[in-house]
C-alpha cells in the first residue's frame, strides 16, 4: 500500500457522537472507503472528522444535535471527537466537543492544551469536503454559494474568517442604528460613520481575498490538476469585486464608504445594506460548453463541483506543502463510469488522504490496493476484504 500522505488522520476516537456511543478507529491509510447501507453512520464519521478543523462542520449542525441518542436517551448530551494526526511538523493530537449540551460553541484541545486561537489549528490541519447537499449549490440562493466560497478561502487564508466576522459585526450594528433612526430614534452620526468605515475596510479585505482565491482556482483548473473532470470557470458577482478590478483597494474602500453614507435612507427602508460582500454571488461556468452551471445537467454539475474541489485541494497542497484531508460523501452519485474512473485516477496523485463513502463497495474496486475498505454498520466499523489486496491492509482496526 502507498505510504501515508504528509497530512493524515491516523486515529479517530468518538465518544457519544451521533450514532456512535464509542468508537476507536485506526485510519492510517491513504484512501479509506466507508461502505454501508443508508443510515448506517457513514456520513457521521465524515462529519466527526470535519469538526476537527475550525468551522461548523460539513452539516453545519448545532451543538445540541451532535450528542449520541440511544434508546431512551434525551436529546443530545455531552460529546467528544478526537484525532491523532501525522503532519509535516510532526504528530499532533486534536480534540473537540462539548461538556454542556446547551453550549452553542465547542471547545478545542491541541496536544492537551487550549489553542491560542482557532487559526492555530487551521495552520496545522486542513480538510475539504463534498456532500450530496452541495449538489444543490447551483440551485440554492446566493448565500449558500457565498458560504461555499468563503470556506474555500478560509482553507488557504485562516485570517479571512476574522475579516468576515468583523464586517458582519459592523454591518449588524449599522443596521440596528438605521432601524432606530427609521423609527424616530436619535443616532450619533460619528458612530454611524465609524461603522461604515469598518464595513469599507473589512468588506474590501473580504472581497479581495475572494478575488485572489477565484483567480488561483481558475488557474489551477486550467492547468488540469482535476484530471479529466470538466473545467469550471469561477467569477464573483459583486460591486466590490468590480471596483477591485478597476483600481486599487484604497479606491474601492472610498467608493464603498461613500455609497454606504449616501444609501442610508434606502438601507433603512430595506432593512439592511443593499450592496457589499454580503450580497456577492459565486458564478460558475462550464468552460467547454460556455454554459452557466445552473443550466448544465445534474451529472455535469456534479462533475464541475468535483473538479473544483479537487483543484482547491491541489492549491492547498501547493501552498502549505501538504494536501488537505478530503472527505467525499457519496461522491459516486450522479457520476457515470468514465467520470468515476477519472476520479479514481486522480485521487492517488493528489497526495491527500481521502475518505469516501458509498452504499456499494464494488463501485470503488478500481482503487484496488490504494484503498482500505471499512464496512459501516449502526454504531460500529469493521474491516472487510471487499476486493483483492485488501486483506493485508486491515490490521489495527478496532470498533466498539
- Residue 157 · residue 216 · CB < 8 Å: no
Per DSSP, the residues of 22-57 read: EEEEE--SSEEEEE--TTSSHHHHHHHHHTTSSSST
Q: In terms of domains, do 146 and 293 share one?
A: yes
* Residue 368, domain member (yes or no): yes
Residue 42 among known ligand-binding residues? yes
Which pLDDT score, from 0 to 100, does residue 397 have? 39
Which pLDDT score, from 0 to 100, does residue 368 have? 84
Q: In terms of domains, do 229 and 111 share one?
A: no
Which pLDDT score, from 0 to 100, does residue 313 have? 93
Which pLDDT score, from 0 to 100, does residue 390 have? 43
* Residue 256, domain member (yes or no): yes
Count of Cβ atoms closer than 10 Å to residue 109 Cβ = 15
CA distance 332 to 364: 9
Statement: residue 213 has pLDDT above 60: yes
Q: Which three cell numbers stand for residue 16?
A: 457519544
* Residue 303, domain member (yes or no): no
Statement: residue 112 has pLDDT above 50: yes
Banded model confidence at residue 387, pLDDT cuts 50, 70, 90:
low
Q: What are phi and psi of 368, to 5 degrees?
A: 55, -135
Which pLDDT score, from 0 to 100, does residue 3 have? 84
Which pLDDT score, from 0 to 100, does residue 159 have? 87
Q: In terms of domains, do 113 and 158 share one?
A: no
Q: In terms of domains, do 200 and 294 share one?
A: yes
What are the residues facing 11 on neighbouring strands?
26, 84
Q: In terms of domains, do 122 and 146 share one?
A: no
Statement: residue 73 has pLDDT above 70: no
Q: In terms of domains, do 174 and 266 share one?
A: yes
Statement: residue 224 has pLDDT above 50: yes
* Residue 305, domain member (yes or no): no
Q: In terms of domains, do 113 and 217 share one?
A: no
Which pLDDT score, from 0 to 100, does residue 74 have? 55
CA distance 63 to 67: 8
Banded model confidence at residue 226, pLDDT cuts 50, 70, 90:
confident
Q: Which one, of 61, 88, 89, 86, lies nearest residue 75 by Cα?
A: 61
Residue 37 among known ligand-binding residues? yes
> Chain-wide mean pLDDT for the chain?
90
Residue 289 among known ligand-binding residues? no
Q: In terms of domains, do 224 and 339 share one?
A: no
Residue 43 among known ligand-binding residues? yes
Q: Which three cell numbers stand for residue 301?
A: 454539475
* Residue 286, domain member (yes or no): yes
Which pLDDT score, from 0 to 100, does residue 30 have? 95
Statement: residue 61 has pLDDT above 80: yes
Residue 41 among known ligand-binding residues? yes
CATH number, residue 102: 3.40.50.300
Which pLDDT score, from 0 to 100, does residue 396 have? 39
Which pLDDT score, from 0 to 100, does residue 391 have? 44
> Strand runs (DSSP E) across the chain, as ranges?
8-17, 20-26, 31-35, 79-86, 92-98, 107-110, 127-130, 232-237, 281-286, 291-292, 325-328, 354-358, 371-377, 380-383
Q: In terms of domains, do 112 and 183 share one?
A: no
Banded model confidence at residue 228, pLDDT cuts 50, 70, 90:
confident
Which pLDDT score, from 0 to 100, does residue 138 have? 86
Which pLDDT score, from 0 to 100, does residue 139 have? 85
Q: Which three cell numbers stand for residue 265?
A: 435612507
Q: Which one, of 48, 42, 93, lies nearest residue 66 by Cα?
A: 48
> Which of 298, 314, 344 is the last residue before a domain boundary?
298
Helix (H, G, I), strand (E, B) or coil at 343: helix
Which pLDDT score, from 0 to 100, does residue 44 have? 96
Domain of 270 in residue numbering reads as 142-298
Q: In terms of domains, do 174 and 292 share one?
A: yes
Q: Which tens digits make up the pLDDT trace of 275-297?
A: 999 999 999 999 999 999 999 99
Q: Which tens digits make up the pLDDT trace of 127-182?
A: 999 999 888 898 889 999 999 999 899 889 988 989 999 999 999 999 999 999 88
Give the distance from CA 256 to its chain's centroid: 29
Q: Which tens digits make up the pLDDT trace of 232-285?
A: 999 999 999 999 999 999 999 999 999 999 999 999 999 999 999 999 999 999
CA distance 197 to 218: 32
Q: In terms of domains, do 189 and 329 share one?
A: no
Give the distance from CA 264 to its chain's centroid: 35
Structural domain total, the chain: 2
Which pLDDT score, from 0 to 100, does residue 76 have? 66
Q: What are phi and psi of 318, to 5 degrees?
A: -65, -35
Per DSSP, the residues of 107-169 read: EEEETTB--S-HHHHHTT--EEEE-GGGGGGGTS-HHHHHHHHHHHHHHH-TTHHHHHHHHHH
Which pLDDT score, from 0 to 100, does residue 386 have? 62
- Residue 35 · residue 356 · CB < 8 Å: no
Q: In terms of domains, do 189 and 337 share one?
A: no
Which pLDDT score, from 0 to 100, does residue 194 have? 97
Q: Which tens digits make up the pLDDT trace of 308-362?
A: 999 999 999 999 999 999 999 999 877 888 999 999 999 988 899 999 999 999 8
Statement: residue 215 has pLDDT above 90: yes
* Residue 312, domain member (yes or no): no
Give pTM, 2 decimals: 0.88
Question: Could you give the C-alpha distances from 277 to 54, 146, 243, 245, 294, in angstroms and in order?
Answer: 22, 9, 12, 15, 22
CATH number, residue 259: 1.20.1050.90
Please, what's the b/e burial string for 245-278 (b: 16 or more CB within 10 A of its CB; e: otherwise)? eeeeeeebbebbbebbeebbeebbeeeebebbbb
Which pLDDT score, from 0 to 100, does residue 277 have? 97
* Residue 313, domain member (yes or no): no
* Residue 195, domain member (yes or no): yes
The residue assigned the cell 454554459 is 291
Statement: residue 389 has pLDDT above 50: no
Q: Which tens digits make up the pLDDT trace of 6-31?
A: 999 999 999 999 999 999 999 999 99
Count of Cβ atoms closer than 10 Å to residue 221 Cβ = 25
CA distance 212 to 77: 41
Q: What is the mean pLDDT of residues 47-72?
A: 87
Which pLDDT score, from 0 to 100, does residue 100 have? 85
Amino acid at each position: 500500500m502507498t505510504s501515508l500522505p504528509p497530512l493524515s488522520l491516523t486515529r479517530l476516537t468518538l465518544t457519544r457522537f451521533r450514532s456512535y456511543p464509542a468508537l476507536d478507529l485506526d485510519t492510517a491509510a491513504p484512501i479509506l472507503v466507508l461502505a454501508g447501507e443508508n443510515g448506517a453512520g457513514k456520513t457521521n464519521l465524515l462529519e466527526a472528522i470535519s469538526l476537527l478543523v475550525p468551522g461548523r462542520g460539513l452539516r453545519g449542525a448545532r451543538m445540541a444535535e451532535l450528542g449520541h441518542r440511544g434508546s431512551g436517551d434525551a436529546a443530545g448530551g455531552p460529546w467528544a471527537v478526537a484525532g491523532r494526526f501525522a503532519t509535516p511538523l510532526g504528530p499532533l493530537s486534536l480534540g473537540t466537543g462539548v461538556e454542556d449540551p446547551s453550549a452553542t460553541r465547542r471547545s478545542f484541545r491541541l496536544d492537551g492544551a487550549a489553542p491560542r486561537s482557532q487559526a492555530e489549528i487551521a495552520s496545522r490541519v486542513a480538510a475539504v469536503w463534498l456532500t450530496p447537499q452541495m449538489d444543490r449549490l447551483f440551485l440554492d440562493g446566493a448565500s449558500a454559494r457565498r458560504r461555499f466560497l468563503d470556506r474555500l478561502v478560509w482553507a488557504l487564508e485562516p485570517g479571512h474568517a476574522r475579516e468576515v466576522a468583523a464586517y458582519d459585526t459592523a454591518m449588524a450594528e449599522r443596521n440596528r442604528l438605521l432601524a432606530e433612526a427609521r423609527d424616530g430614534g436619535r443616532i450619533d452620526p460619528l458612530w454611524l460613520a465609524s461603522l461604515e468605515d469598518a464595513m469599507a475596510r473589512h468588506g474590501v479585505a473580504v472581497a479581495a481575498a475572494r478575488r485572489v482565491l477565484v483567480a488561483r482556482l481558475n488557474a489551477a483548473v486550467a492547468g488540469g490538476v482535476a484530471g479529466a473532470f470538466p473545467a469550471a470557470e469561477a467569477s464573483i458577482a459583486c460591486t466590490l469585486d468590480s471596483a477591485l478590478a478597476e483600481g486599487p483597494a484604497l479606491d474601492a474602500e472610498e467608493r464603498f464608504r461613500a455609497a454606504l453614507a449616501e444609501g442610508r435612507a434606502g438601507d433603512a427602508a430595506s432593512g439592511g445594506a443593499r450592496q457589499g460582500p454580503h450580497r456577492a454571488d459565486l458564478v460558475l461556468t462550464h468552460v467547454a460548453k460556455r454554459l452557466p452551471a445552473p443550466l448544465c445537467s445534474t451529472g455535469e454539475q456534479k462533475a464541475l463541483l468535483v473538479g473544483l474541489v479537487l483543484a482547491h485541494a491541489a492549491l492547498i497542497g501547493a501552498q502549505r506543502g501538504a494536501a488537505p484531508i478530503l472527505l467525499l460523501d457519496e461522491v459516486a452519485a450522479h457520476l457515470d463510469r468514465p467520470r468515476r474512473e477519472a476520479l479514481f485516477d486522480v485521487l492517488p496523485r493528489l497526495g491527500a488522504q481521502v475518505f469516501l463513502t458509498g452504499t456499494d463497495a464494488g463501485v470503488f474496486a478500481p482503487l484496488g490496493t490504494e484503498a482500505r475498505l471499512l464496512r459501516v454498520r449502526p454504531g460500529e466499523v469493521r474491516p472487510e476484504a471487499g476486493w483483492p489486496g485488501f486483506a493485508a491492509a486491515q490490521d489495527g482496526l478496532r470498533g466498539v
